[in-house]
Amino acid sequence: MTRIAICGAAGRMGRALIHAVDARTDVILAAAIERTGNSLIGTDAGEMAALSPKGVKINQSLASQIDLVDVIIDFTSPEATIANIALCRQEGKGIVIGTTGLNEAQKHLLIEASHDIPIVYSGNYSVGVNVSLKLLELAAKAFGDTVDVDVLEAHHRFKVDAPSGTALMMGEAVASALGRDLKDVACYAREGHTGARDRKTIGFQSIRGGDIVGDHTVYFMGEGERVEIRHVATSRMNFANGAVRAAAWLKTRSAGLYDMRDVLGLK
């Protein structure tokens, strides 16, 4: 039985994660953490998520609960995630990270911590998205330099980062398959008289509005044909189920940095 702590428990993803834990028989909710000052601190995590009581009160301190858990699932903010990674490293706990928007320095700290503890870090925990990444690699290798590639993503109006972590994962999958470095070929804006595009670039376009959970399409655009690989999420439960699956998988792993494709055996 894997004992799980959920950081960001009162948020939309946090509540979905509680439901995902409740649906499995090999994991148990051992701690639920929220930021200091949240009005739900002290309430039962199960009742907060519209489930039966779980006997787990929402707490503001992961450090006070760390001995109760095996693996932490963190869908919070970059700053909170880095602090939680440091605590997990100190206490020898595994952590599943779904936080997006980490900068290069924060990613470097994450990589350093993975030398001492097992970490799953993914821009998207959906099984479907990770299958799509495999398909993108296959398509990129087949087309090579004969097509132009763009990524279009859409999310709800409250999402604070763009492009999405999933869009960047998709761009990285294509770039890697083509032997390119995404940092060198990514194009995040087109405006004015841009001239003909460089075929080696990978474009990104972001839409924000309404309650869109997640919609990603990668276009492989050639002369006379176009291939589109699309993934549409209609519920956060697919992300939550994948993250909990990753947590159960991580419990028996040694130190290292993993992603969802490791969890699914797609590598």
> Of 134, 159, 200, 251, which residue is the catalytic one?
159
CA distances from 173 to 131, 200, 212 (A): 12, 14, 24
CA 65 to chain centre: 24
Tokens of 56: 């787990």
Instruction: For residue 29, give the amino acid letter.
Output: L
> Of 93, 155, 216, 231, which residue is the catalytic one?
155
In the chain, where does DSSP find H-type helix? Answer: 12-22, 45-48, 78-91, 104-113, 127-143, 165-177, 182-185, 237-250, 260-264
DSSP letters for 81-135: HHHHHHHHHHHT-EEEE------HHHHHHHHHHTTTSEEEE-S---HHHHHHHHH
Annotated catalytic residue 155: yes
Active site amino acids? 155, 159
